[in-house]
C-alpha cells in the first residue's frame, strides 16, 4: 500500500519534470512527503520501467583542416554597390529530412 502511494508520487514527479529526473532528484523533491530512501525510490522506478532521459552528447560535425587556408575577405563588410549585379553573395543551410541532411544553397 505504501509502495503504491510512493509510486504515484514518483510518477507525478517524473511527469512534472518531463521524464528528466532520476531517482536521486525525485527522492530529494519528495523527501518530506513520504519517509523512504533513495534506494527504495530507485527500486520502484526500476521495477516499473521508469527511467530518466539521458542528455545526448554534443557531436562535432565540422572538422578543422589546416591545409585549407581561410579565403580572403574581398568585400571587407562593404555590401553597397554602385550598380546592379556588381556584388553577389550566397548562403548555405542544412535541412534535416527523414532520410538524411540536405544542403540548400542559394
Number of structural domains in the chain:
1
| Domain assignment of residue 27, yes or no | yes
pLDDT in tens, 13-65: 999 999 999 999 999 988 878 788 999 999 999 999 999 988 888 888 777 77
Residue 75 has pLDDT above 90, yes or no: no
| Domain assignment of residue 70, yes or no | no
| Domain assignment of residue 79, yes or no | no
| Domain assignment of residue 62, yes or no | no
pTM: 0.52
Distance CA 4, CA 2 (A): 5
Burial class of residue 14 (count of CB atoms within 10 Å of its CB; 0-12, 13-18, 19+): buried
Bridge partners of 96, per DSSP, are 101
Residue listed under C-alpha cell 589546416: 66
Residue 8 is predicted with a pLDDT of 92
- Please answer whether residues 45 and 23 qualify as being in contact, where contact means their C-beta atoms are separated by less than 8 angstroms: yes
User: Taken in order 10, 16, 20, 21, is the CA torsion positive or negative?
Assistant: negative
Amino acid at each position: 500500500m505504501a509502495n503504491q502511494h510512493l509510486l504515484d508520487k514518483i510518477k507525478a514527479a517524473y511527469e512534472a519534470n518531463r521524464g528528466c529526473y532520476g531517482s536521486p532528484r525525485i527522492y530529494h523533491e519528495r523527501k518530506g512527503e513520504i519517509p523512504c530512501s533513495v534506494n527504495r525510490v530507485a527500486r520502484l522506478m526500476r521495477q516499473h520501467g521508469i527511467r530518466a532521459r539521458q542528455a545526448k552528447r554534443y557531436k562535432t560535425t565540422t572538422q578543422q583542416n589546416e591545409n585549407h587556408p581561410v579565403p580572403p575577405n574581398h568585400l571587407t563588410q562593404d555590401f553597397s554597390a554602385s550598380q546592379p549585379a556588381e556584388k553577389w553573395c550566397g548562403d548555405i543551410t542544412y535541412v534535416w529530412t527523414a532520410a538524411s541532411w540536405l544542403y540548400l544553397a542559394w
